Copies of this chain bind each other. A is one copy, B any other.
Amino acid sequence: MSDRLEQQFAFLNEADRLKSVLRATTLVDGSRPENSGEHSWHLALYALVLADQAGPGVDINRVIRMLLVHDLVEIDVGDVPIHSANGLAHGSVETVAAEAKAADRIFGLLPRDLGHNLRALWEEFEAAETPDAIFAKSLDRVQPVMANLMSGGGTWTTYNVTAEQLESRVGVKIAKGAPRLWNWIKGQTAAFFAR
């Protein structure tokens, strides 16, 4: 059992580093960049609170588990912002390869059974094909929209994002997993983009 606990804590102590990975998005009050650890907590809370927005067949407990591990690869790769043109491109072949290598290392710290299960959850999130993953991805797109709205622009201002770009880069993905939610959020963003 000791070896198993050593592996479990090697992973949990390594995971701590996600708290030092900074995102492009700020806190709601705009005071500082958000880190990927606290972002993962906020997203899991989103799933708990917005469960009534999930489509049929979505298991919120699995969505929460998925969101808890969805950004761990950023410990090696960093956050790859959607709206930025610098560094690794979001969804590029290079980014996908770097994240797979990071997953090998990080989930590989765990006992084999646990590492296999959590990596499968992360891969399911990345593939965005199951109802659980599609809803999780929607929430991952909603949370930065709310932070930008609350902080008065955030990354939309930094990267000169237009309403059309928000629709094509973000809105389409939110609408796929949570159509009523995107409809409501779009209404909230209208005043900002009409300014």
Q: Which residues of A contact B (CB under 8 A)?
A: 1-2, 4-5, 8-9, 11-13, 15-20, 27-29, 31, 34-35, 37-38, 40-42, 44-46, 48-50, 52, 61, 64-65, 68-69, 110, 114, 118, 146-147, 150, 180-181, 184
Contacts and interface: CB of A to CB of B under 8 A. Distances in A.
A29 B16 contact: yes
Q: Which 7 A-B pairs have the closest CB atoms?
A: A41-B41, A37-B38, A16-B28, A61-B61, A38-B38, A19-B38, A40-B41
Contacts of A114: 49
18 contacts: A1-B184, A5-B184, A8-B49, A15-B42, A15-B45, A16-B27, A16-B29, A17-B29, A18-B41, A37-B41, A38-B38, A41-B44, A44-B68, A49-B110, A49-B118, A61-B61, A61-B64, A64-B64
Nearest to A50: B8
Contact of A19 (B9, B34, B68): B34
A184 B1 CA distance: 9
Contacts of A27: 16, 19-20
A29 B37 CA distance: 15
Contacts of A46: 12
Contacts of A118: 48-49
Contacts of A31: 20
Given A1-B180, A20-B31, A150 B13 contact: yes
